């Protein structure tokens, strides 16, 4: 009998990683991997790019960097791992330490004994409980086979109108993929803004503007109630509580749930999120059974609470740790900060930690900064804007989260923030980080440092701001205040707020013309990105004006309407 029999259930990310790591550590172990599908070790996150055509061949999603196909023969020859595809694990007998399984093609039953068992059963796409989800032309994009079907359908030219149900990550990536096939696209999101689990309103609005520029119809605050069929059972329209949307193609993209049926049936403990509960060694409630990837919950390093954040990067980390521990190691997984990045229409979206909404829900007293600016020196050709939102704890200055969106370099900033959050850094730490600087790569004071300094100025009583939401509430209520525009005349001509309360005095003339402003009214200054707004506030403070603040994020960070473009 082998010294260690390891059975792995699930062959996409965590499972193959765990099996491969176990083999590297233990050359004598008997390792068997069971996968219900016909494909293993594929890059599911690459499917939108295959649909789009950036990845030409679906097989590229299942190849090593050297071009070898990761199939059963590869795992047997290179790693001495027995991979059984089209094999469904039907029951785990924990007492006997065996897995019962069935070959889905032949119906043959088999039994796989184990000393250590790894559950890497992944997640399943959520399907709304509405009529029509099984119609022809309705997709979920959870497997390369479905990605191939989607691409074939789009390339046929039969699709004119596509509706994406759910404004989440996959929906945003697929919007661009669909548009490359000449399809008219509508995204329907039930919440009041896109990516509600990832972004606050302002960064989401920045993204929404970009999508609309690219002819994507974004419908928020709207619930899908049914998918309607034509005479032959193909989807023809999406029924919402706001009306009907024509659609020959529908993508359901409302989230993922953990696939825990097998674990539940054998009596393993589930966590508060509904995913499998594991300790920091990724052991389940049975010490001989480990689990990782999209079927387990993680610990959030900011809150200390359990969370369900399914990502391929986490699944691979889990696999390595499990591979260590099923072969006698003692590796641990600390947790996550929820870092998520993606691209759509050359627009980068990145976030980590807690959003402002999430932080407030967790009971934190927060302080935020909204800072739009170029991603490199403003005088360098090719500079692009990014909008940075920083969230910190008001008292301690401890960083809680960040969101960076825009066509500029967002991901390197969010990676810095992910490290900062993991290490428990404060806004003072972030402002002091010795980040790389050269004009082609970053401004002399990096965007993150600028956002951190905004928060420091607020905490020190130097900067007094109103958020866009607070200013919008004032505007809507008809409140009397001075809406002070301190930009140049050329900027005003190009774009301005359409409101009678706006008073235009360029910053360079503010000291000379301050007498034109009333001291008995609140003054809210603004500029393009809020730097001059801050200067205006400090200038007027020094001149004895008692009630002055500025718009956080300036006109670039304004997520609402009411902005009129000039000639």
pLDDT digits (tens, 9 = 90+) for 460-469: 999 999 999 8
Question: What region does 509 belong to: left with phi over 0, alpha with psi -120 to 50, or beta?
Answer: alpha
Q: What is the DSSP string of 205-216?
A: HHHHHHHHHTTE
Q: Which CATH superfamily is domain 346-459 in?
A: FAD/NAD(P)-binding domain (3.50.50.60)
Write down the pLDDT at residue 526: 96
pLDDT (average), residues 190-212: 94
Structure tokens at 90: 């039907």
pLDDT (average), residues 379-395: 96
Q: Does the pLDDT of residue 92 top 70, yes or no?
A: yes
pLDDT digits (tens, 9 = 90+) for 52-73: 999 999 999 999 999 999 999 9
pLDDT digits (tens, 9 = 90+) for 114-169: 999 999 999 999 999 999 999 999 999 989 999 999 999 999 999 999 999 999 89
Q: How many CB atoms lie within 10 A of CB 209?
A: 12
Write down the pLDDT at residue 147: 94
pLDDT (average), residues 497-525: 96
pLDDT (average), residues 386-402: 97
Would the pTM count as exceeding 0.85? yes
Q: E-assigned strands of 248-384?
A: 249-252, 256-258, 289-291, 298-299, 306-307, 340-344, 347-353, 366-374
Q: Does the pLDDT of residue 564 top 80, yes or no?
A: no
Distance CA(410)–CA(341), nearest Å, equals 9
Class of domain 138-254: alpha beta
Q: Does the pLDDT of residue 205 top 50, yes or no?
A: yes
Write down the pLDDT at residue 567: 41
Closest CA to 159 of 129, 139, 145, 140: 139
Query: What's phi and psi for 265, nearest 5 deg?
Result: -65, -30
295 has catalytic annotation: no
3-state secondary structure of 524: strand
Write down the pLDDT at residue 3: 72
Active-site choice (14, 45, 295, 298): 45
pLDDT digits (tens, 9 = 90+) for 265-299: 999 999 999 999 999 999 999 999 999 999 999 99
Distance CA(541)–CA(523), nearest Å, equals 11
In whole angstroms, what separates CA 207 from the centre of its chain?
A: 13
Domain ranges across the chain: 5-123+257-325, 138-254, 346-459, 465-565
Rounded-to-5 percentages of helix, strand, coil across the chain: 30, 30, 45
Strand order in the sheet with 224-229: 224-229, 235-240, 243-246
Q: What is the mean pLDDT of the chain?
A: 95
Cα dihedral sign, 281-284-288-293: negative
Write down the pLDDT at residue 566: 58
Q: Are strands 161-165 and 138-139 parallel, antiparallel or unpaired?
A: unpaired
CATH number given to 5-123+257-325: 3.50.50.60
CATH number given to 465-565: 3.40.250.10
Same fold, 138-254 and 465-565: no
Bridge partners of 307, per DSSP, are 298
Distance CA(438)–CA(278), nearest Å, equals 44
């Amino acid at each position: 009998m082998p010294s260690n029999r390891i059975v792995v259930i699930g062959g996409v990310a965590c499972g193959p990683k765990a099996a491969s790591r176990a083999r590297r550590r233990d050359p004598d172990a008997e390792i068997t991997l069971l996968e219900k599908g016909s494909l293993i070790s594929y890059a599911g996150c690459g499917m939108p790019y295959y649909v789009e055509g950036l990845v030409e061949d679906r097989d590229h999603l299942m190849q090593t960097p050297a071009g070898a196909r990761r199939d059963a023969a590869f795992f047997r020859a290179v790693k001495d791992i027995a991979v059984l595809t089209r094999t469904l694990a039907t029951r785990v007998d924990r007492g006997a330490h065996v897995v019962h399984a069935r070959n889905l093609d032949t119906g043959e039953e088999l039994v796989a004994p184990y000393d250590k068992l790894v559950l890497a059963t992944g997640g399943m796409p959520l399907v709304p409980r509405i009529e029509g989800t099984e119609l022809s032309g309705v997709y979920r994009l959870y497997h390369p086979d479905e990605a191939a079907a989607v691409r074939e359908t789009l390339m046929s030219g039969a699709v004119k109108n596509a509706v994406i149900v759910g404004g989440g990550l996959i929906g945003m990536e697929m919007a661009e993929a669909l548009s490359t096939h000449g399809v008219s696209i509508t995204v329907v999101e039930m919440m009041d803004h896109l990516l509600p689990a990832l972004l606050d309103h302002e960064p989401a609005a920045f993204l929404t503007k970009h999508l609309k520029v690219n002819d994507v119809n974004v419908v928020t605050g709207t619930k899908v109630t049914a998918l309607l069929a034509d005479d032959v059972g193909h989807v023809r329209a999406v029924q919402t509580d706001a009306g009907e949307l024509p659609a020959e193609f529908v993508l359901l993209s409302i989230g993922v749930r953990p696939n825990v049926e097998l674990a539940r049936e054998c009596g393993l403990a589930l966590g508060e999120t509904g995913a499998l509960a594991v300790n920091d060694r990724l052991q389940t409630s049975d010490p001989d059974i480990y689990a990782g990837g999209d079927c387990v919950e993680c610990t959030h390093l900011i809150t200390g609470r359990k969370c369900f954040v399914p990502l391929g990067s986490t699944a691979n980390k889990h696999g390595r740790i499990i591979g260590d521990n099923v072969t006698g190691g003692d590796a641990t997984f600390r947790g996550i900060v929820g870092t998520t990045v993606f691209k759509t229409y050359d627009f980068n979206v990145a976030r980590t930690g807690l959003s402002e909404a999430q932080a407030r829900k967790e009971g934190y007293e927060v302080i935020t900064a909204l800072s739009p600016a170029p991603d490199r020196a403003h005088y360098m050709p090719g500079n692009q804007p990014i909008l940075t939102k920083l969230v910190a704890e008001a008292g301690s200055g401890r960083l809680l989260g960040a969101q960076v969106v825009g066509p500029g370099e967002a991901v390197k900033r969010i990676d810095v923030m992910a490290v900062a959050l993991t290490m428990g850094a404060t806004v003072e730490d972030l402002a002091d980080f010795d980040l790389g600087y050269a004009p082609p790569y970053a401004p002399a004071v990096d965007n993150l440092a600028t956002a951190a300094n905004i928060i420091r100025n607020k905490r020190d009583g130097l900067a007094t701001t109103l958020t866009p939401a607070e200013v919008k509430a004032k505007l809507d209520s008809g409140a009397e205040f001075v809406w002070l525009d301190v930009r140049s005349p050329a900027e005003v001509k190009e774009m301005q707020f359409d409101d009678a309360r706006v008073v235009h005095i360029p910053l360079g003339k503010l000291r000379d013309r301050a007498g034109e402003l009333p001291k008995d009214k609140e003054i809210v200054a603004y500029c393009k990105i809020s730097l001059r707004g801050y200067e205006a506030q400090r200038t007027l403070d020094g001149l004895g004006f008692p009630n002055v603040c500025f718009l956080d994020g300036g006109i670039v960070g304004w997520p609402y309407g009411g902005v009129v473009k000039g000639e």
